[in-house]
Structure formats: C-alpha cells, structure tokens
C-alpha cells in the first residue's frame, strides 16, 4: 500500500553554483553550434575552479567555430551569470579548450545512411514524469526550491548588491493523503557581500520564500535556515570545483521520480540522454494535463545506433483513469520516439539550451522561439479523443 502521510525534500542550486556554471558554459557551446548548423554534433564538458576553466569534448560542425570562439563564449556565459570576483572573474579567468572532432565510430552509428534512419547517440534509459501537485504539473518540493532561487537571482540581477551568484535551496513538504499541505523546513544558503549582516540576509530571503510558497505554507521559524554556517562570501568555482552534469536530480524532478543517469547539458539533441528525457516529460505531462492520471511516469530505452526505442513503460501509480497498457500503445502513435522523430516533433535543432542550464529543465513556460517545447500540452485533445475523456 502506498504511503499517504510523509515528508519529502528536494533541493535546487542557482545559476552561480559551480556545477551550474559548467552546465551554462557547456550549453552555451551547444547553442553556438546549433545556431551555425542545426545538425551539428556537440558533447562538451566543462570544469571550473578558482579562476580556471577547462573545456573538453567532441564536436562536428562548421570549421570557423574554434578554440578561441569556445573560450569567448565561456567568458560571456560567466559574465551573464554575474561573476566579477577576485577568485572567479569573467575577464581574468584562464580558459583552456581541449575540444576535438567527434569519433567517426560514434558518427557512423548515429548518422542516417541509405535506408538506415538516424540512430540513438548512445544506449540507455530515460524517464519522464508529471503530477498534479503544481500548475506546472511538477512535484511541489523541487518546483518551490527552483522558484526561491530564481527570485533571488532576479533580485541580484536587478541590482541587489548584498547577494552573490552562488546559492542553494532545500524545501521539505508535508504530504497528507498523498498531497502537499505545507513546508516543515526551508533551507537557503546564499553567497553574500563581505559586509552583509546575516540578519538582513535572512529577512531578504524570507521575503522571497513567503512570496514563493502558497499562503499558509511557511515552515516554523526554528525550521527556517538561512546561511546556517554563518558566512558565505567565498562561493562559486572559487569555493568548490564545478563539473558539467553533476546536478541531474536538480535538473529533473528533485528525487520524486527515477532518473536514467545521463546528464543533459553540453549535448546536442541527437543524444537521447537529453532528447528522450524531454520527450518522456512531454508525454507524461500531456497524460496528466488530459486528466487521464494524477501522476504519470514513462520510461524508454535505446541502443546506440538503433532508431527505434527498445521499450516503453508507463506507470500511473494507481491514479490512472485509463488502462496503462493502452496508454503504452497510444503514446508512440502520437509521437514518433525515434531520435529523429523526437527532434522534429519538439523542434530541438535550435539554439535553445543555455536557458535550460539552471532552475530546472522541466516545469518551465514554453518560449515563442521553441525553447521548452517539451512543456507544451498540445497532445491533450488527441489523448482525450483516444480515450473518450
């Protein structure tokens, strides 16, 4: 029997967190290539530490995109985040690039040749999830964790000089009869100016937490933790080494659903780690938006070089209004789940990825230029028609 009354916690990290700095740089390189060639191949990793950034990975695209271009784009990304600190500065940081051409062995498995359709860029499993806990059809703990940090970042970009780029949040919610009813604790650690008063920081954070959580959901005062170490001046890559792809649970569902293990950032959409995770979120969200279930989890699996998915699994956790077996048959009819089919259905061959690098890849508003297209609910009518809903 499913547990109905419990506590559940999720965390988020800001755009200035060292790992997210790396995600932002890697996705900026992806956008650089896709803007020049929508069918470019990119798999770029970033490492960042005290005033030092390393780029590595494999690419295939226009020859005019070179190491100097990559390093310039990395500086622009760091500047956009807001790092102008002694230990990490967009202008002064040393940046080295070891990016090289894509392996021909991988390319021949992925490329469409003759009668062979484009294959998956790797083997693996990917999950998508949706639930009715928030209007965005996301688990509430991760969604509120993201919103708190995004609000702090907006205040910082608007000119609040007390706040630094690096921050983390953690929200614990109480569930009663399977539904979230309020916060039992909130933790926010935010980088700040050296002369900032901790009491002032606490009240500033409180404003954004209260504005984010539903009315009456604020945790008890003794469970509201702001900078619990007492000081957070040294932050970002100067305080902790960052790497691309280390925040995959932050990027997805905050632990409320499984993760296949593959990171998103730095990868072009032929990589099913990214594109199939977007596709399964899209399908799961449409199932819930159509009223066919309160929760929906979808898994797909692929083999490298093979276009068709090897499996499709659907679980509605006993909340479904329709047969899960039929759902598993209908969904691939509404969306071609081959790598090419996903890219074309969601319009993924566009420079739309740097914006995904912080505050979650899911639960976002679709953009007019095609960004976050996997958050659309344009299959609702077709699903309702299929099931007579």
Feature table: binding site = 17, 19, 45, 58, 102, 166-168, 231-232, 240, 246-247, 263, 267, 271
Dihedral in degrees, nearest 10, Cα atoms 225, 137, 279, 293: 130
Tell me how far apart the alpha carbons of residues 176 and 172 are, in angstroms, rounded to a whole number.
Answer: 13
Annotated binding site for L-methionine: 58, 102, 240, 271
At 338, list the tokens: 């081959």
Distance from C-alpha of 301 to C-alpha of 310, rounded to nearest angstrom: 5
Q: Specify binding-site residues for Mg(2+).
A: 19
Instruction: Say how far apart CA 222 and CA 229 lie, in whole Å.
Output: 15
- Which residue positions form the known binding site for ATP? 17, 166-168, 231-232, 240, 246-247, 263, 267
Scanning 191-234, the segments in alpha helix (DSSP H) are: 198-212
**Structure tokens belonging to residue 203:** 């009240």
| Parallel/antiparallel/unpaired status of strands 179-192 and 163-176 | antiparallel
Tokens 């929760």 label which residue? 295
How far apart, in whole angstroms, are the C-alpha atoms of residue 74 and residue 32? 11
Whether residue 40 contacts residue 61, with contact meaning beta carbons closer than 8 Å, is answered with yes
Do the Cβ atoms of 297 and 314 come closer than 8 Å?
Answer: yes
Q: Which two tokens stand for residue 121?
A: 């860029």
- Which residue ranges make up the annotated binding site for K(+)? 45
Residues pairing with 204 in the sheet: none
């Amino acid at each position: 029997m499913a547990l109905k009354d419990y506590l559940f916690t999720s965390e988020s990290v800001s755009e200035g967190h060292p790992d997210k700095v790396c995600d932002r740089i890697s996705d900026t390189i992806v956008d650089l290539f896709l803007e020049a060639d929508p069918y470019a191949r990119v798999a770029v990793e970033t490492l960042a530490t005290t005033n030092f950034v390393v780029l590595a990975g494999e690419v295939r695209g226009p020859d005019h995109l070179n190491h100097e271009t990559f390093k310039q784009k990395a500086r622009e990304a760091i500047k956009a985040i807001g790092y102008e600190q002694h230990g990490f500065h967009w202008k002064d940081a040393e940046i080295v690039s070891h990016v090289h051409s894509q392996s021909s062995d991988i390319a021949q498995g992925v490329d469409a040749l003759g009668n062979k359709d484009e294959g998956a860029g790797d083997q693996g499993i990917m999950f998508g999830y949706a639930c009715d806990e928030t209007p965005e059809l996301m688990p509430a703990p991760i969604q509120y964790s993201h919103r708190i940090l995004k609000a702090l970042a907006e205040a910082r970009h608007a000119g609040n000089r007390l706040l630094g780029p690096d921050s983390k949040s953690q929200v614990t919610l109480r569930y009663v009869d399977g539904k979230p009813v309020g916060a039992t604790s909130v933790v926010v650690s935010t980088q700040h100016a050296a002369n900032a008063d901790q009491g002032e920081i606490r009240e500033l954070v409180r404003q954004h937490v209260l504005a984010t959580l539903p009315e009456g959901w604020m945790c008890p005062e003794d469970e509201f933790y702001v900078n619990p170490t007492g000081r957070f001046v040294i932050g970002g890559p100067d305080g902790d080494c960052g790497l691309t792809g280390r925040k995959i649970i932050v990027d997805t569902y905050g632990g409320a659903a499984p993760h296949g293990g593959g990171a998103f950032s730095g990868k072009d959409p032929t990589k099913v780690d990214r594109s199939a995770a977007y596709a399964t979120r899209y399908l799961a969200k449409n199932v819930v938006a159509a009223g066919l279930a309160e929760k929906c989890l979808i898994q797909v699996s692929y083999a490298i070089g093979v276009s068709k998915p090897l499996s499709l699994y659907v679980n509605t956790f006993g909340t479904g209004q329709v047969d899960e077996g039929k759902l598993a048959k209908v969904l691939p009819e509404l969306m071609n789940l081959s790598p090419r089919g996903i890219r074309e259905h969601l319009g993924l061959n566009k420079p739309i990825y740097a914006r995904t690098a912080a505050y979650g890849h899911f639960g976002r508003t679709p953009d007019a230029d095609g960004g976050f297209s996997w958050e659309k609910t344009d299959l609702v009518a077709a699903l309702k028609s299929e099931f007579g809903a």
